[in-house]
Amino acid sequence: MLKLTLRRLLVAIPTLILVSLIVFSLQKLLPGDPLLTMAGEERDPEVLAFLREKYRLDDPFHVQYLAWLGNVLTGDFGRSLRTGVPVSTLIAQKLPVTLQLAVMAIVLALLIGIPAGILSAVKKGTATDYAANVVALSGVSIPNFWLGIILIMVVSVQWQLLPASGYVPPTENFLQSLRTMLMPSFVLATALAAYLMRHTRSAMLGVLSSDYIRTAKAKGLLPKTVILKHALRNALMPIVTLTTLLFGELLAGAVLTEQVFTIPGFGKLIVDAVFTRDYAVVQGVVLCTAVGFIFMNLVADLLYVVINPRLRHPQ
Amino acid sequence: MNVLKTLVLGAALLASTSVMAADLRIGLQDDPDVLDPHRARTFVGRIVFTSLCDKLVDINEKLDIVPRIATEWSWSDDGTVLTMKLREGATFHDGTPIDAAAVKANLDRARTDSESLRKSELKSIADIAVADASTLTITLSGPDAGLLAQLTDRAGMLMSPASFDNEPGQNPVCSGPYKFVERVQNDRIVLEKFPEYWNADQYHFDRVTFVPMPDTTVRLANLRAGDVDIIERVAPSDLETVKGDAAITLASVTGLGYQAIEVNVANGAKADNPLGKDKRLRQALNLAIDRDVINQVVGAGTYQPAHQPFPPASFAYNEEIGSRSRDIERAKALVKEAGFDRVPFELTFGNNTIMQQVFELVQAMAAEAGFDISLRPTEFAALQSVLKSGEFEVGQSGWSGRVDPDGNIHQYVSCQGGLNDAKYCNEEVDRLLNEARTRSDPATRVKLYDQAQAILQEDMPVIYLFYLPWPFAHKATLEGFTAYPDGMIRLEGVDFSS
């Protein structure tokens, strides 16, 4: 297990360098000049020239990239061109928000998706199955921003039950933090739960038709034991893969949901940064989310071993 | 629905929504940039500075200059020496007094700091001398009619000189009624009351929090849900909702800025287009556009038609030009006269819903006069580069507006103007605008601007469409709020009714 972890971490290094190089190149390919964009109505040529020099924006591409990479290796992610705040500070501010949103969304999604998937597999072909499928399909089809705005209109404006926006750290006020995050994580969870439900359903259907389930039923075990202990555990593998991948995606930020609920996470940060061509911020956030994604893949591999004892002692 | 309601109700019962009555939350359209008035660029940043940093002078609703830190001022006869008397007893947020030396240090930083964007605004200043602790003498290289107006904005804002080397952009130590507490980028800027402020009695909130909320629908929903108390820039399509909700109040005013289109007349290869070469076609396009339609259809009555750079609130506003209207027959005749049957051209603009609607209307109206416009929506950052480099035939041009008329015209149509992307150049216009800068008498300036406008209406490098409104909405329980033409939020005397 330790060997596996170490090997994965080593493989991650070239991946990260490649990711950062691709993102850097893409940004440079975009039309638009960060200083001009930020200057807006205030284009003092002298100041623009000074800033261009200061942030080395006129250096050749490879020089800029290597300078950035060199700084990153010493722990310096640069500063936001727009506000002058160090990128590491920004990441430290936004990462907990994004993490909390991701965790709440995935927990909600699992709580809805897996039971629905099991139910729909066990009751295959019945009204329950069709109903679950219709709900799942709507979950995937309804756009997040629309659902978000409707929820705000109903829950916050009409009923005045939950705050319409904002973020409160759980360390400051745990309940208020849950309240502010409830609607956004629910919005995110609707789509995720649908994927999970569909995958749970098909994995369960595969397992339920296998011989050992018939044997278990023949032994006279309770249906609950058969489904939860014998079938579900074996059906979990694809669900674990999907969950970790979905979680990895959530770590990149949920742009629309964050925008609608005014949550200061990675999504809003990176979109603003792309629009203002704030290179250092985009690079830093992408690097951070790539690390998160690679980490989640590792978690998936480790979970396989935990769930499936046969993988513990490979021949 | 009932299940959902029960679920949510359960969650909501866990805590209450009570907010301190003496806290004010303001929903802004964007996140400001650096909080250093000398280096800052954004419009929303100016809204924050209005509460955070005091300035030498300010404007009232009629754009008259009124005292702040400077209590009185006088000009020498030739208009080159400005003597300012400073308020006694005013202090910065770090407790140091605001004296003449500190004001001088601020103006000098604004004039010389390598990243200062205020240099052009204060260019006319040649020397600043401290006469005594409360008297400042500013000597100009030549008369500058717009200087006082510049000092009503960021150029006249005062930070503690001790903070200059301590990253004021992140930790501003200013002089306004509220002082800086914390900022989380893209999330909030928190200010708290500065009890030693010279006019602290008039400021009634303990805390003021600015929250960036880019989406107009979301901003309004937050106001209606009670999460914020004031929002800026209500979308025209939401005005009906605001008017129909008794719990919120609309406060809208026509601003100092405008939305326009500019024709590339001499900026690179793309200037070689029919409109760039023939002013009759520019005149025809101008005559073909019915501003009232744009105002009603897109602006819901808040996009007051514009035919000139000066807003109605300005003394330089020309009534006669302002009352012109669409003349489609004359437009058709001009197109014929220029030797065209149909005139194709490309119009580049920033891709948001409002501008898309505006330019689709322009496209349809201009088609009647013989123009075949292809619309080219462009992402905002790319638009800036496209306009500057001259990669456009006709482009969107907008300006947030300045108090002095000079700020609304000089940079856009003078030969060396910093924002003159069309590269229009007319020596007579330059001469008139430069002279208007040096005259202090408004009547004389109006005459000069009228002459310049006559030429510009003939050459038509810029076609003005409408004045930008500043529609604010706030809780009905909030009293004393006034919308100013500069779009700032002034909290003096604003309070919740008890």
> How do residues A76-124 score in pLDDT, each as one tens digit?
999 998 888 999 999 999 999 999 999 999 999 999 999 999 999 999 9
Tally of residues, chain A: 315
Determine the 3-state secondary structure of B86 from DSSP: strand
Count interface pairs A-B at CB distance under 8 A: 155
A-chain CB neighbours of B115 within 8 Å are: 47, 50-51
What's the rounded Cα separation, in Å, for the pair A311 and A237? Answer: 12
Closest CB to B186 among A34, A269, A277: A269
Position B413 confidence tier, pLDDT thresholds 50, 70, 90: very high
pLDDT for B37 = 97
Cross-chain residue pair A32–B382, CB shorter than 8 Å? yes
Based on its alpha-carbon atoms, the radius of gyration of chain A, rounded to whole angstroms, reads 24
Shortest alpha-carbon distance between residue B190 and chain A (Å): 13
Q: Which two tokens stand for residue A101?
A: 């949103």
Pick the CATH number of B16-33+168-253+470-496 from 3.30.450.20, 3.90.1070.10, 3.40.190.10, 3.80.10.10: 3.40.190.10
- CA-to-CA separations, B311 to A43, A104, B321, B355, B423, in angstroms, rounded: 23, 51, 12, 20, 23
Q: What percent of chain A has pLDDT over 90?
A: 45
**What is the average pLDDT across B71-84?**
95
The DSSP output letter for B485 is T
Count of Cβ atoms closer than 10 Å to residue A7 Cβ = 11
| Greater model confidence, B282 or B120 | B282
What is the structure's pLDDT at B13?
A: 43
Beta bridge partners of B27: B211, B231
Q: Which of residues 419-478 of B touch A (CB under 8 A)?
A: 419
3-state SS assignment for residue B421: coil
Band (B395; pLDDT cuts 50, 70, 90): very high
Distances (CA, A) of A90 to A93, A268, B374: 5, 12, 41
Q: What pLDDT band is residue B495 in, cutting at 50, 70 and 90?
A: very high
Per-residue pLDDT of A126-151, as tens digits, reads 999 999 889 888 888 999 999 999 99
Task: Report the gap between the CA of B406 and the closest CA in chain A (Å).
Answer: 15
Residue A313: per-residue pLDDT: 65
- The dihedral over CA atoms of B236, B238, B241, B247, expressed in degrees to the nearest 10, equals -100
Per residue in B174-202, pLDDT (tens digit) is 999 999 999 998 899 999 999 999 999 99
Q: With an 8 Å Cβ cutoff, is B17 touching chain A?
A: yes
Domains B16-33+168-253+470-496 and B255-469 share a fold: no
Long-range (24+ apart) CB contacts under 8 A made by B106-111 are: B106/B38, B106/B157, B106/B158, B106/B159, B106/B161, B107/B138, B107/B155, B109/B38, B109/B161, B109/B164, B110/B38, B110/B155
| DSSP state string for B48-60 | HHHHH--BSEEE-
For the segment B355-376, the average pLDDT, to the nearest whole number, is 97
Per-residue pLDDT, A277: 87
Closest by Cα among B402, B488, B354 to B146? B402
Q: Cβ–Cβ of B385/A33 closer than 8 Å? A: yes
Give the DSSP letter string of chain A. Answer: -HHHHHHHHHHHHHHHHHHHHHHHHHHHHSSS-HHHHHHTT---HHHHHHHHHHTTTTS-HHHHHHHHHHHHHTT---B-TTT--BHHHHHHHHHHHHHHHHHHHHHHHHHHHHHHHHHHHHTTTSHHHHHHHHHHHHHHHS-HHHHHHHHIIIIIIIS--S-SS----TTT-HHHHHHHHHHHHHHHHHHHHHHHHHHHHHHHHHHHTSHHHHHHHHTT--HHHIIIIIIHHHHHHHHHHHHHHHHHHHHT--HHHHHHHT--SHHHHHHHHHHTT-HHHHHHHHHHHHHHHHHHHHHHHHHHHHH-GGGTS--
Longest distance between any two alpha carbons in chain B, whole Å: 78
| Residue B228 predicted with pLDDT over 90 | yes
Secondary element (H or E) of residue B286: helix B279-288
Find residues 219-258 of chain A whose CB sits inside 8 Å of chain B.
Answer: none
Q: Is B367 helix (H, G, I), strand (E, B) or coil?
A: helix
Share of chain B above pLDDT 70, in %: 96
Q: Can you tell me the distance from the alpha carbon of B189 to that of B416, in angstroms, rounded to the nearest whole number? A: 38
**Does any CB of chain B come closer than 8 Å to the CB of residue A86?**
no
Average pLDDT, chain B: 93
Sign of the CA dihedral with A195 first, then A197, A202, and A207 last: positive
Residues 225-244 in B contacting A (C-alpha not used; CB under 8 Å):
225-228
* B452: nearest Cα among B467, B473, B437, B469: B437
- Higher-pLDDT residue of A37, B17: A37
Whether B200 contacts chain A with CB within 8 A:
no
Overall pTM surpassing 0.80 (yes/no): yes
Tell how far CA B468 is from the center of its chain. Answer: 9
Please report the ipTM that was assigned to this predicted complex: 0.87
pLDDT at A46: 85
Lowest-confidence pick of A67-76, B141-150, B407-416? A67-76
pLDDT in tens, B452-481: 999 999 999 999 999 999 999 999 999 999
Domain boundaries, chain B: 16-33+168-253+470-496, 53-163, 255-469
Q: Which residue has the tokens 């897109």?
A: B298
Cβ–Cβ contact B217 with A under 8 A: yes
What integer pLDDT is reported at residue B430 of this predicted model? 97
Q: Pick the residue of A33, A51, A83, A173 with the most B CBs within 10 A to test the interface with B by mutation.
A: A83
The pLDDT value given to residue A230: 86
Q: What is the pLDDT of residue B11?
A: 46
For residue B155, give Cα distances in angstroms to A259, B147, B407.
33, 9, 13
CATH topology of domain B255-469: Dipeptide-binding Protein; domain 3 (3.10.105)
Residue of A157, A180, A279 to mutate, interface with B, max B Cβ within 10 Å:
A157
pLDDT digit string (tens) for B353-363? 899 999 999 99
Q: Tell whether B12 is within 8 A of chain A (Cβ).
A: yes
Over chain A, what is the mean pLDDT? 89
User: Would you state the pLDDT for residue B18?
Assistant: 41
Tokens linked to B182: 């914390």
Among the residue ranges B19-33, B36-50, B65-79, B117-131, the one predicted with the least confidence is B19-33
- Residue B21: is its pLDDT beyond 70? no
Find the mean pLDDT for residues B13-42: 79
B6: pLDDT confidence band, cut at 50, 70 and 90?
A: low
pLDDT at A9: 84
Q: What is the mean pLDDT of residues B120-124?
A: 93
- Give the pLDDT of residue B367: 97
Helical axes B2-13 vs A174-208, angle rounded to 10°:
140
**Which residues does residue A59 pair with via DSSP β-bridges, in sequence order?**
none
Q: Does A31 touch chain B (CB under 8 A)?
A: yes
User: Does B33 contact A83 at a Cβ distance shorter than 8 Å?
Assistant: yes
pLDDT, residue B146, reads 93
Asked whether the beta carbons of A179 and A169 are under 8 A apart, the reply is: no
Confidence of residue B121 (pLDDT cuts 50, 70, 90): very high
Beta carbons of B222 and A262 less than 8 Å apart: yes
A188-232 per-position pLDDT tens digit? 999 899 999 999 999 999 999 889 888 988 888 888 888 888 888
What tens digit of pLDDT does each residue of A107-119 get?
999 999 999 999 9
Amino acid residing at B266: A
∠ at Cα B243 (B241, B245), nearest 5°?
Answer: 70
Measured between beta carbons, the chain A residues lying within 8 angstroms of B184 are 93, 264
Looking at beta carbons, which pairs linking B374-379 to residues 24 or more positions away fall under 8 Å? B374/B344, B374/B345, B374/B346, B374/B347, B375/B346, B375/B347, B375/B349, B376/B346, B376/B347, B376/B348, B376/B349, B377/B349, B377/B350, B377/B351, B378/B348, B378/B349, B378/B350, B378/B351, B379/A32, B379/A275, B379/B350, B379/B351
Residue B460, sorted as left (phi over 0), alpha (psi -120 to 50) or beta, turns out to be: left
Q: A258-301 pLDDT, tens per residue?
A: 989 999 999 889 988 888 889 899 999 999 999 888 888 888 88
CATH number of A87-312: 1.10.3720.10
In Å, how far is B361's CA from the nearest CA of chain A? Answer: 26
Does the distance separating the beta carbons of A39 and B15 come in below 8 Å?
Answer: no
Q: Indicate the CATH number of B53-163 among 3.30.450.20, 3.40.50.1950, 3.90.76.10, 3.50.30.30.
A: 3.90.76.10
- pLDDT for A223: 86
